[in-house]
A = this chain, B = another copy of it.
Amino acid sequence: MRESAQAGRDAEAVSKFVESFAAQLVEAGMQRMAARVFAALLSSDKGVLTSAELSEQLQISPAAVSGAVRYLAQTHMVSREREPGSRRERYRVHGDQWYEALTNREAVIKRWEGALREGVNSLGPDTPAGRRMAETLAFFEFIEGEIAAMMERWRAHRERTFGQG
Q: Which residues of A contact B (CB under 8 A)?
A: 9-10, 13-14, 16-17, 20-21, 23-24, 27-29, 42-47, 93, 95-96, 98-99, 103, 108, 111-112, 115-116, 118-119, 122-123, 127-129, 131-133, 135-136, 138-140, 142-143, 146, 150, 153-154, 157-158, 161-162, 165
Query: Binding site of A, secondary structure by majority: helix, strand, loop or mixed?
Result: helix
CA distance A55 to B136 in the complex (A): 25
Minimum Cβ distance to chain B for residue A136 (Å): 6
Asked whether A135 lies within 8 Å of B96 as measured between CB atoms, the reply is: yes
Partner of A42, one of B29, B42, B136, B154: B136
A115 / chain B contacts, CB cutoff of 8 Å:
17, 20-21, 23-24
Partner of A29, one of B29, B133, B150: B29
Instruction: Show 22 A/B contacts (Cβ-Cβ < 8 Å), sorted by A.
Output: A10-B123, A13-B122, A20-B118, A21-B119, A24-B108, A28-B112, A42-B119, A43-B123, A43-B129, A45-B127, A45-B129, A93-B132, A95-B135, A99-B139, A103-B143, A135-B162, A135-B165, A138-B161, A138-B162, A139-B154, A139-B158, A146-B153
